[in-house]
Amino acid sequence: MITRMLTGIKSTGTPHLGNILSIVIPSIKMANVRPKDTSFIFIADLHSLIELENIKNIKDSIYKIVATWMAFGLDIDNCIFYRQSDVTEVTELAWYLSCFFSYKRLKLAHAFKSKKNNTVNVGLFYYPILMASDILLYDAEIIPVGKDQIQHIEISRKIANFFNRKINKKLFVLPNPFFKKHTMYINGIDGEKMSKSRNNFIDIFSSSEVLKKNIMKIRTDNKSFKDKKNPKTDYIIYLYKLISTFDEVRNMEKKYILGKYGYMEAKKKLYNHILYKFKFEREKFKFYMKNTNLLDKILNLGAKKAKIIARKKLNIIRKYLNFNSLF
């Protein structure tokens, strides 16, 4: 079998610049040229339920994520693009997998460990199991993810391996994380990891006013306009670097080092560069968000394709567990 690639984005608000640079763009580059139907891209709406506040915005968030993938040019005829909750086979497999993984080990997962245990729901604890199910259900081997997800892939591997050994058959493919060093970890406007929960993200699809306000909030030191500045420790140039050519960056670096170039100028430059660089994607995004019926069609089509593959795999798994086949 040709190796399969799979990745998902949780439906919590708009995908931000970090998601786009570390997941969306690299995954599209791969998915569009890989053999037909060997790339799986989905919206992890079930995962977003670990925070119940997400329920009210879930539809809007799903549309925004679909519109993002479409705006950046995902070829949906070449891949399988679906919403996780449309393929309920994944929750059944998650149960089976949970019985093949030790409680003690799952307790060590960082997302769970880092929270105060008396306030989290079981869903958060179970999160890595559902994620393993996403991956193992489709025999995916290449998993584009950000750095924070590597441990989850490791757990998926462990479950797959343990399951295979228990039934003495290579039923599950062992997945590997895929990432590029320079995009695996993207920082936000405060220099910390860009994330929705930290509210330090850049939404390239927001209105130009919101985008500008956001960029003006990038944290800097308090050097004045005429001071010489250090390009190595500055967050504006860090963000500019992510989306600019080598020469463009060199140019800005020189201005920093010489002085008489204020942070305000640098921020304006970054703002204009985002508008220029993503002009086309911003227009396409707007178009799709105005035509959500198109997005519904895309998701329905994807769900049908995904379900056929998922159902087949689940029936094979059921056989090994001595359960009946489903039709």
Task: Compute the least distance from the CB of residue 250 to ligand TRP, in Å.
Answer: 33
Classify strands 4-10 and 176-178 as parallel, antiparallel or unpaired: unpaired
Partners of residue 258 on adjacent β-strands: none
Partners of residue 43 on adjacent β-strands: 9, 83
65 versus 317: smaller Cβ distance to ligand TRP: 65
7 versus 61: smaller Cβ distance to ligand TRP: 7
Quick one: which segment of 4-12, 161-169, 288-296, 305-313 binds ligand TRP (CB under 6 A)?
4-12
43 versus 218: smaller Cβ distance to ligand TRP: 43
Task: Compute the least distance from the CB of residue 40 to ligand TRP, in Å.
Answer: 9
Task: Compute the least distance from the CB of residue 90 to ligand TRP, in Å.
Answer: 9
Q: What would you report as the CA-atom Rg of the chain, rounded to the nearest whole angstrom?
A: 22
Q: Does position 200 bind ligand TRP by CB under 6 A?
A: no
Q: Does position 306 bind ligand TRP by CB under 6 A?
A: no
- Number of residues in contact with ligand TRP, rule: CB under 6 A? 13
Task: Compute the least distance from the CB of residue 178 to ligand TRP, in Å.
Answer: 10
149 versus 183: smaller Cβ distance to ligand TRP: 149
Binding positions for ligand TRP, 112-151, rule CB under 6 A: 131, 134-135, 143, 145, 149
Q: Does position 8 bind ligand TRP by CB under 6 A?
A: yes
Q: Give the separation between CA 301 and CA 310, rounded to whole angstroms.
A: 14
In the complex, which residues of this chain contact ligand TRP (CB under 6 A)? 6-10, 44, 47, 131, 134-135, 143, 145, 149
